[in-house]
Structure 1
Amino acid sequence: MALQHESTAPYRSVQRALRVLDLIARRPAGVTEAELARAAGLTGPRLSGLLRMLRREGYVTQCADGTYTSGEALDRLGTGPGAGRAPLQDSLDRLRGDLGAAVYVGRYQDGEIRVPYCADGPDTPAVHEWVDFRSSGHASAIGKCLVGQLDAEARSDHLSRHRMARLTSRTITHEGQLLTRFAAQPATVPVLDLQEYAVGTVCAAVPLTAGATAGCLALSLPVEQTHRLRPAADALNRAAASVLLALTL
C-alpha cells in the first residue's frame, strides 16, 4: 500500500520536537532556550512555539531560572508495561476537553480502516458505530481521510472490497463522484462528514501520517452543534503535531 500524499507539517514538527527532547534529556541540570536554539538549529519564534506545545503536553518543564528540563510525561515513558500509551491517551483526553468533542485516531493497516484510540465522555459521546468503520470508508470522515490518502491502486482495491452502501440520504454511493471528491480535497484542509455516516452526527478528520502508514485525527459532534464543526476542525488540525508526537513516543 502506498500513499498518494501526506501532510508533512505535523511530521516535521515531530522531528523538531524529538530533537529538542533529546537535547533536554541529555542535560538533566537544565538547558536554556538560547542553547536549544543553537543546538537544534531552530529560530526563536519556531522554538518558542514548540516549547509551548511540549510544556502543555507535559514533556518538558520550565524551571524558575528559565531553563528547561524533562517533564512528567517524558519521565513516564518506558517505566512500566503499557506506559508508552499513556502520553497518547493523555493528549487525546486533553484535546477532547479543549474541543468539547469526542476525538479519535484512525489508521489504515493491513488494507483496512481501524480506529484504535478514542477519547470521549458523558458530555462528548463517541459516535455510535452502527456500521463497521471498516465498511464505511466512503461515508465517515475517518474513512474518507484515510482512503483519500491512498494511491490509485490501493484506493481501487479498497473500494472493490467494500460496497458503497447508502447509509443516509447524504451518503455518496457513486465511485466516480467519490473519486472526484478525493481529487478536489486539499491535503491541508479537514475532511468533513455532514451526516453521511450517521443521521444526527457531523465529523471532521485531518491527516496524521508519518512514513508509509496512513493515519488521521478526527472528532465528532451532534448535528445540533454543526456551527462548531469548522472551527473545531481547524483546532484539530493545529493539534495534529502534538498527537503525532505522542504516537511516536
Structure 2
Amino acid sequence: MGIDLTGRTALVTGATGELGRVMVRTIAACGADVAIHYNSNEGQALELQKEIIATGRRAAIVQADITNLDAIVAMRDKVNAELGHVDIVVANAVIQYGWTSILEQAPEDYRGQFESCVMQSVYLAKAFAPAMIEKQAGRFIGINTECAMQNFETQSAYVAGKRGMDGVYRILAKEIGRHQITVNQVAPGWTISDRDRANGTERNEGYEKSVALKRRGTDQDIANTVAYLASDLAGFITGAYIPVCGGNVMPAI
C-alpha cells in the first residue's frame, strides 16, 4: 500500500519556504502535479519548478499575496489555465515576524497573523472549494503549529492567528464534508530543515527533553503527513488537528 496522487493537482502556498519545498517535492513524488506559490522568492520558485519538471511531473509557479482575495482568485485562474482545477490545497504560507511579549508586540503583527492564518484560509476556501464541490472530491490541508497548544510566552500573535485558523478549518470541515471534501490540519513541532542542516543546529537538548521521542522531527516528517492526508488513504479523516511533534504536545479527549 502506498500513497498515490496520480492525476491530481496540488497547490502549496509558501512553497519556497523551509517546509514548503519538501512538501512540494513529496507531493510530486507521489504523482501529483504541483502549483508552487511564492510571495517574493521567484528564483527559488523557478528552481523548484525545474526540479519537479525533471521528475516527469507538471509544475507551475504562481505569485500572490495570500492576504488578498483578488490575488488568490487570480492565482487560482492561472493554475487552472496551466494545470487544471486544484484537487489539493495546502495552506502553508505565513507572515514572519519577531516574537516578544504582548505588552511589547506591535499591533500590526497581530493583524499580519490574522490575515495570513485566518483570512488566507477563508480566501483559499472561497477560491478553490466551489470546483471541489462540483467534482465532489477535494482536500484542504492547513499547516498549524504545536504552539497553538503550548501557549508559551512571546507566542501570542502566532498562537492567536493559528487558533483562529483552527476554528475556520473545523467549521469548514463540517460545511463542505457532505461533498466528500476533507479539511485537516498538520501541526509541526520545532522541525529540522535545510537551514539547520547547513548551520549544524539539528540538536537542541533543552527542547528534546520535553519530546516523548527525545528528538526533533524533520521537514520530511511533516511532508509525509501532508501527503497522507492528501491521499485516498485518509479519505475518512476530516476536522483533525494532527501534531507531528514526537509527542511534545498531545491533544486530549
Same structural fold, with TM-score higher than 0.5 when normalized by the shorter chain: no
Give the TM-score normalised by the residue count of structure 2: 0.29
- TM-score, normalised by the number of residues in structure 1: 0.29
Higher relative contact order (CA 8 A, sep 6+): 1
Please say which structure displays the higher CA radius of gyration. Answer: 1
